[in-house]
A and B are shown apart, each in its own frame.
Chain A
Amino acid sequence: MSDVVLSISHLTKRFDQQTILEDLSLDVREGEVVVIVGSSGCGKSTLLRCINALEEIQGGEIRLRGEPIRHNSKNLPEMRRKIGMVFQNYELFPHLTVLDNIMLSPVRAQKRSREETRTEALTLLDRVGLKEKAGSYPRQLSGGQKQRVAIVRALIMHPEILLFDEVTAALDPEMVREVLDVIVSLADQGKTMLIVTHEMSFARAVADRIILLEDRRILEENTPEQFFTSPKTEQAEKFLQSFEFKRKKES
């Protein structure tokens, strides 16, 4: 068994009186791809946001390589550099070019040299087929291109783990593929990833482990094969059935 990269133990998250996540525990090991599924509002995104401390937690502990991640600790920026986050709506910086978007954090936060960063940024852009867009502004890109840039921006930090928060949910259907292909190739490279998605066939292809989040907790934890063919719980079965309908409605 390889090393645990991310360890969540007994996590509880409340907004005011409402409990979103309760006593949730989850380990992600090195090189593992864990996909979280669940109906809207079940707390999937909140879980990711807790991991890089964009949300305060009310109980439990989150550790990255054994080091605790705390909302108010001094070393939070340093910890966040080890966690790559890709958002649903890309969240590129509109006033910066693609290249500057990617270089901002390595140069400012990690104090790496501009030259070395630029070279790596261009290599990574090339790998996702966007080298010629280095000088463009985000508004000149399609949604799928923006999301690939956002992935590169996270990758260049060399994070221990990548978090994907419904990264294709805002995309037009024909652009979903190009983004998912990039993520699949990252999985092939052995990157450690925690992915929240509504794309079931993608989940099945990319995941080492599928987690169904429902009612504030992990309801089922399974291999993708088993989860989609013979889920352990009734709720999982229900969820998978409802999905076809939901997906048609959404797209």
Chain B
Amino acid sequence: MDWGYIQNVLPLYGKAAWLTLRTGAAGILLAAIVGLLCAAASHWRVPVLRRITSAYVEISRNTPLLIQLFFIYYGLPKIGIRTRPEACGILGLAFLGGGYMAEAFRSGIEAVDRIQEESALSLGLTRLQTFLHVILPQAAAISAPAFMANVVFLMKETSVFSAVSLMDLMFTAKDQIGLYYRTAENLFLLVGAYLLILLPLSMLGSVWERRLRYAGFGT
């Protein structure tokens, strides 16, 4: 292992990690919003939207991210929609993650007893108030483990971003290996960088889960 070389390329990896983190976070945030809207649509049984939602969930979860990215990056320009690589990555991740997040939220919402909703409605809260103040907080606690698993999963999925020429961690490693044949060093850095991003995320997740569970839920 050539430590001098590692030191040299470290800033490159820093930049790439920042890109991975940035696009990953933006994509996951969008995915959470999409997922929440989908879950709300199915909870309220919004007539047409509900069917569109379930079709979307199946499509997004049953196609690989790489192909979704190709579709956005190479397919959409054919009908005049051009996206920059970074936007493409974020959109792809949001498309894939939205389906998973929708399922995570939906299962949480469904686990909240129906009579809790009736209790809130009979207090004269509107449907939206009931959803925001009564159902969602309880659903969030139930969905937290699935949500965190999705966050970690989606963060890992960003490793295919290099396919649409985003200079993320994977791209940087492949690039360096191709240029200098430093396979061991670069793979070491690659794994290290991902662990550095994902381990704290996982740990943060389990602390958060515990916090939610103790915040007055259960029994």
Q: Which of A36-44, A94-102, A115-123, A203-211 contacts B (4 or more CB under 8 A)?
A: A94-102
Q: Is B122 part of the binding interface, using a Cβ–Cβ cutoff of 8 Å? A: yes
Query: How many A residues, CB 8 Å from partner?
Result: 30
What 0/1 pattern do residues 91 to 125 of B give for CB contact below 8 A with A?
00000000000000000000000011011111111
Total A-B pairs, Cβ < 8 A: 75
CB-CB < 8 A to A110: which residues of B?
124
Set B123, B141, B215: member contacting A80, Cβ < 8 A: B123
Query: Once the chains bind, are A91 and B116 in contact (CB under 8 Å)?
Result: yes
Given contacts A108-B133, A139-B216, A139-B219, are A95 and B141 in contact (CB under 8 A)?
yes
Chain B nearest CB: distance from A108 CB in Å?
A: 5
Chain B interface helix/strand/loop/mixed: helix
Kindly list chain B residues whose C-beta atoms are within 8 Å of the C-beta of A93: 116, 119-120, 134, 138
Residues A77 and B124 in contact in the complex (CB < 8 Å), given A91-B116, A138-B216 = yes
Q: Closest CB-CB distance, A177 to chain B, in whole Å?
A: 24
Which residues on B sit within 8 Å (CB–CB) of A139?
Answer: 216-219
Given contacts A80-B124, A109-B126, A138-B216, contact A104 B133 (CB under 8 A): yes
Of the candidates A77, A97, A137, the one whose C-beta lies within 8 Å of that of B125 is A77
Asked if B129 CB lies within 8 Å of chain A CBs, one says yes
Is B137 close to A, CB under 8 A?
A: yes
Chain A nearest CB from B140 CB (Å) reads: 9
CB-CB under 8 A from A138, the residues of chain B are 216
Distance in angstroms from B210 CB to nearest chain A CB is 15
A50-103 contacts to B (CB < 8 Å): 52, 54, 77-83, 85, 87, 89, 91-97
> CB distance B123 to A89 under 8 Å?
no
Interface pair B216/A105, CB less than 8 Å apart? no
- Chain A CB count within 10 A is highest, among B116, B118, B122, B216, for B122
Q: Which chain B positions have C-beta within 8 A of A97?
A: 216
A153 within 8 A of B: yes
Q: Which residues does chain B contribute within 8 Å of A96, judged by CB atoms?
A: 216
Q: Which B residues lie within 8 Å of A89 (CB)?
A: 115
Alpha-carbon separation in the docked complex, A91 to B215 (Å) = 17
Residues in chain A near residue B123, CB distance under 8 A: 80-81, 85, 104-105, 109, 153-154, 157
Q: Which residues of A contact B126 (CB under 8 A)?
A: 77, 109
Q: Are B141 and A105 in contact (CB under 8 A)?
A: no
Contact present for B129 and A108 (CB under 8 Å): yes
* Contact of A91 with B218 in the complex, beta carbons under 8 Å: no
Contacts beyond the supplied A52-B122, A109-B129, A138-B216: 10 A-B pairs with Cβ under 8 Å? A54-B118, A54-B121, A77-B121, A79-B124, A91-B115, A93-B119, A104-B134, A105-B125, A110-B124, A139-B216
5 CB < 8 A contacts A-B:
A77-B126, A87-B115, A91-B115, A93-B120, A153-B123
